[in-house]
Each structure stands twice: as C-alpha cells, then as structure tokens.
C-alpha cells in the first residue's frame, strides 16, 4: 500500500507564503530602525559633547582673557625701564595697584629667572 501525501491546498500555501513574507518584512524594518536609531543616538552624543566643549571653552577664554593684555603691558613696561623690578617693595606696591584696577585678575607675580627671586602680591 502506498500512502499518498496530500499536497497543501493553494490557500494554505499562499497564507504560509504571506505570513513568511510578513515576518521577513517586520524583521527587516526592525533591523533598519535599530541601525537608524543607533546612528541618531551617536550623532546626538557627538553634538552634545561638541556643545559642552564649546561652552566650556568660551568660559575658559572669558576667564583668561584679561590676563594677556595686562601681562604684555607689564612686560613692555619692564623692557622700557618703567617698571622697577630691582626694588621688591616698589614692584609689590605697583602690582597691588594693578590688581586693584583689574578686578577680574586675582594674582600677579614677578619672577627673576637669573636670581630665582619672586615678588607675588595677591588681591584680597
């Protein structure tokens, strides 16, 4: 006796094919969505880091901005002999006066590389 294997009906075959294609479509869409979300999150992280870095950089620049012109002026005066760097008391008084006129600067000092002498008044 031979057993006859029944073929599935056309309806069952089409439904199976339709469900299979639907599953493949859903899985493909989920994978594309996951990849897109990963890229979007990475882009947002890098932009957020960039914004933070720029904000911190601007604050650091604003913090240090008063110092270079003041130091250039003092160095220029010292080169021309207008700043008496050999008299620590007079130099200290001058630096204190400059500190008072520059409220955003909290510290000035003079260091002599040859002798190692330091004059370092601080504002209060």
Q: Domain limits at 14?
A: 9-65
Provide φ and ψ at 109, rounded to 5°: -150, 160
With a CB cutoff of 8 Å and minimum separation 6, the contacts of 114 are none
119 closest CA partner among 104, 76, 102, 98? 98
Note whether residue 19 is domain-resident. yes
Q: Which of 65, 87, 109 is the last residue of a domain?
A: 65
Q: Are residues 60 and 87 in the same domain?
A: no
**Collapsing DSSP states into helix, strand and coil, what is residue 122?**
strand
Q: Are residues 60 and 76 in the same domain?
A: no
91-102 per-position pLDDT tens digit: 888 888 888 888
Note whether residue 13 is domain-resident. yes
By the 10 Å C-beta count (0-12 exposed, 13-18 middle, 19+ buried), 67 is classed as: middle
Q: Are residues 55 and 99 in the same domain?
A: no
Q: Are residues 38 and 81 in the same domain?
A: no
Q: Are residues 79 and 115 in the same domain?
A: yes
Q: Are residues 41 and 54 in the same domain?
A: yes
Q: Are residues 107 and 71 in the same domain?
A: yes
8-67 per-position pLDDT tens digit: 899 999 999 999 999 999 999 999 999 999 999 999 999 999 999 999 999 999 888 888
Q: Are residues 103 and 79 in the same domain?
A: yes
- pTM score above 0.75: no
Are the C-beta atoms of residues 119 and 95 closer than 8 Å to each other? yes
Q: Which of 65, 85, 103 is the last residue of a domain?
A: 65
Mean pLDDT calculated for residue range 66-70:
87
Indicate the pLDDT class of residue 112, thresholds 50, 70 and 90. Answer: confident
96 closest CA partner among 65, 119, 77, 114? 119
How many domains would you assign to the chain? Answer: 2
Q: Are residues 82 and 72 in the same domain?
A: yes
**Using CA atoms, how far apart are residues 59 and 53, in angstroms rounded to an integer?**
10
**Collapsing DSSP states into helix, strand and coil, what is residue 111?**
strand
């Amino acid at each position: 006796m031979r057993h006859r294997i029944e073929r599935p009906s056309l309806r069952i075959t089409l439904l199976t094919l339709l469900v299979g294609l639907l599953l493949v479509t859903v899985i493909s869409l989920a994978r594309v969505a996951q990849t897109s979300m990963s890229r979007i999150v990475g882009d947002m992280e890098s932009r957020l880091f960039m914004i933070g870095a720029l904000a911190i950089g601007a604050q650091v620049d604003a913090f240090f901005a008063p110092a270079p012109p003041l130091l250039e002026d003092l160095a220029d005066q010292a080169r021309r002999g207008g700043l008496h760097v050999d008299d620590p008391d007079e130099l200290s008084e001058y630096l204190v006066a400059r500190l008072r006129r520059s409220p955003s600067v909290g510290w000035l000092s003079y260091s002599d590389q040859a002798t190692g002498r330091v004059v370092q008044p601080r504002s209060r």
